[in-house]
A and B are shown apart, each in its own frame.
Chain A
């Protein structure tokens, strides 16, 4: 088996960069979600129960964005594996 052609290696590099970018975004979203959970819990325990609904909605959006990014990573991974 010979070495892959340069275009294939370039394509591999682009995909790896895309996956790294997506991973970094997922990590940032997760950090925001962790902060949101602690802030919501603190506010709820302090009696500010009105923050629970907005907190849950924002967390849902963040989780959905993370899942979408994971789907993106998974799709690129599958494409590479097919080649």
Chain B
């Protein structure tokens, strides 16, 4: 590929020819060069994403007792923070011995979701997004991803958060 001019004429004479057809050739060639350089920029962005994803390690989460099973009635909820103080989560007792917990931040714009016991779903009041209480999947509305689900372990009466199931956006 020829990336440099081969003619020995000055650049201005090369790019602003007195022949109209030549000038059209030059402008097209320069436009093509601009498009290809932009394309290389896109490729650089893709490589950046690749390097970023290769360098990522699986996060580790602490174990934390979030509630005692008897403290949450069926259809009731408990708000807790996990893994950090700025990560609000919601624990829901959907049935007698069934507990689920999710990040309380809506995956759309991070509004706090709440539990609608009647519909057995988690609702975001900001833009009417709804998530299934069973698995956190999006039922309706603008949220692009399911709610990150907190992995729970039962240790006697204690409900212990031990990490996140699947992906945490």
Q: Using a CB–CB distance below 8 Å, which chain A residues touch chain B? A: 12, 15-16, 19-20, 22-23, 26-27, 29-30, 33-34, 36-37, 40-42, 44-49, 52-53, 55-56, 59-60, 62-63, 66-67, 69-71, 73-75, 77-78, 80-81
Residues in A with CB closer than 8 Å to B118 are: none
Q: How far is the CB of A81 from chain B (nearest CB, A)?
A: 7
User: Quick check: A73 and B28 within 8 Å, CB to CB?
Assistant: yes
Q: Is the CB of A74 within 8 A of B29?
A: yes
Asked if A44 and B29 sit within 8 Å, CB to CB, the answer is: no
Say if the beta carbon of B31 comes within 8 Å of chain A: yes
Please tell me which one of the listed residues B22, B35, B168 contacts residue A23 in the complex, with CB atoms under 8 A apart. Answer: B35
Interface residues of B (CB under 8 A from A): 1-2, 6-7, 21-22, 24-26, 28-29, 31-33, 35-36, 38-40, 42-43, 45-47, 49-50, 52-54, 56, 144-145, 166-169
Q: Which residue of A lies closest to B54 (CB)?
A: A52
A41 touches B167 (CB 8 A): no
Complex: A37 Cα to B26 Cα, angstroms: 30
Residues of A within 8 A of B49 (CB): 37, 40-41, 44, 52, 55-56
Known: A23-B35, A81-B7, A81-B22. A60 touches B53 (CB 8 A): no
Instruction: State whether A46 touches B24 (Cβ < 8 A).
Output: no
**Bound CA span A34–B35, Å:** 12
